[in-house]
């Protein structure tokens, strides 16, 4: 159905900024679809704004539910390539500046995904706040998942002051930055230069003074640090952590702890592998489900 409405006519490149302002001021008419001509965008508004024009707009189906999404800062990631749903999602909350769709799972050594921008600003960068810490993120350049927020808090709660921490696969720094308040020093390592560059930004942003970024293949860490250098080691590379477990055991001091993340189908799948090392108590828990047949698990391993 078509309907006449008051609207504002703006240049196309001002569309995103104006749309956000209208949402913030409660003036965007979400029941009608904006349209464009060659240069201009026509956005329907609910009130009579000075300079507003009148145009005919198509009505939206506002009863349609919003697509399921994961929100990271100002980016919403949806599971289907649904442009109309993406647009409705974008208009539903001022905090969302971009809606992305990912065609596939995380891939490659850097564990990144390729994204398609379905609506909003043409970017994969955002600013995300987790328990008071800020993170600059670029989803196409470096791995980030907000789903591990509670896991980071769980580890922080079990730490003692003054620990020496190694994060072997640090990404843009969520574990390193969250845990640094309990540490004398944190070494945060990653093989992806873009991740380490964002890690530097995030260290500065959160005014951290005790985190040292390292750009290296974790296989080299055994040659960089003497044995027993760390009280605690984070190993969040679930597909491949087991390839690095011997290095983690070498670098963790007796009495220290390794947090070993893995993907498994059944509980206890890693017990036999871990049994080859000098382990004290091992406790295992599910972090989240990963696929219908696999879950993301963590083994907290006391080294003896």
Chosen residue from 4, 24, 80, 217 binding ligand SAM by CB under 6 A:
217
Distance of CA 139 to the CA centre of its chain: 7
Collapsed DSSP state (helix, strand, coil) of residue 127: strand
The DSSP element (H or E) to which 43 belongs, if any, is strand 40-44
Phi, psi of 212 (to 5 degrees): -110, 110
The answer to whether residue 98 forms part of the interface with ligand SAM (CB under 6 A) is: no
Q: Which stretch binds ligand SAM (CB under 6 A): 49-57, 79-87, 144-152, 222-230?
A: 144-152
Start-end of H helices in 11-159: 15-24, 83-92, 149-158
Q: Does residue 225 bind ligand SAM (CB under 6 A)?
A: no
- The minimum distance between CB 227 and ligand SAM, in angstroms, equals 19
Nearest approach in angstroms of CB 191 to ligand SAM is 4
If 0-12 CB within 10 Å is exposed, 13-18 middle and 19+ buried, where does residue 166 land? buried
Structure tokens at 76: 């919403």
* Residue indicated by tokens 């620990």: 163
Contact status: 111 vs ligand SAM (CB under 6 A): yes
Q: Which stretch binds ligand SAM (CB under 6 A): 12-20, 138-146, 177-185, 264-272?
A: 138-146
Q: How many whole angstroms separate alpha carbon 261 and alpha carbon 174?
A: 15
Residues 146-185, mask of contacts with ligand SAM (x by CB under 6 A): --x--------------------xxx--xx----------
Residue (192 or 262) nearer to ligand SAM, CB:
192
DSSP state of 180: G
Question: Using CB under 6 A as the criterion, which residues of the chain lie in contact with ligand SAM when the complex forms?
Answer: 109-111, 142-145, 148, 169-171, 174-175, 189-192, 195, 217-218, 236-237
């Amino acid at each position: 159905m078509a309907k006449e409405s008051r609207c504002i006519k703006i240049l196309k490149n001002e569309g995103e900024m104006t749309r956000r302002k209208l949402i913030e001021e409660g003036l965007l008419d979400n029941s009608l679809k904006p349209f464009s001509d060659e240069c201009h965008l026509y956005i329907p508004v609910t009130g009579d704004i000075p300079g507003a024009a009148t145009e005919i707009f198509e009505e939206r189906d506002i009863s349609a539910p919003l697509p399921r999404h994961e929100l990271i800062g100002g980016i919403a990631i949806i599971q289907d390539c649904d442009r109309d749903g993406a647009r409705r999602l974008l208009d539903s909350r001022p905090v969302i500046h971009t809606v992305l769709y990912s065609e596939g799972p995380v891939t490659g050594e850097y564990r990144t995904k390729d994204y398609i921008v379905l609506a909003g600003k043409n970017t994969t960068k955002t600013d995300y706040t987790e328990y008071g810490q800020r993170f600059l993120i670029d989803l196409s350049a470096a791995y980030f998942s907000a789903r591990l927020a509670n896991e980071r808090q769980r580890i922080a709660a079990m730490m003692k002051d003054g620990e020496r921490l190694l994060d072997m696969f640090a990404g843009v720094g969520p574990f390193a930055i969250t845990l640094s308040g309990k540490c004398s020093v944190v070494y945060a390592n990653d093989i992806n230069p873009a991740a380490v560059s964002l890690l530097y930004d995030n260290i500065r942003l959160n005014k951290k003074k005790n985190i040292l970024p390292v750009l290296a293949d974790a296989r080299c860490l055994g040659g960089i640090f003497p044995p027993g250098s760390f009280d605690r080691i984070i190993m969040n590379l679930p597909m491949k952590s087991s390839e690095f477990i011997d290095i983690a055991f070498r670098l963790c001091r007796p009495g220290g702890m390794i947090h070993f993340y893995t993907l498994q189908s059944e509980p206890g799948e890693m017990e036999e592998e871990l049994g080859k090392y000098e382990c004290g108590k091992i406790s295992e828990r599910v972090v989240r489900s990963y696929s219908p047949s696999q879950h993301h698990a963590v083994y907290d391993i006391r080294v003896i």
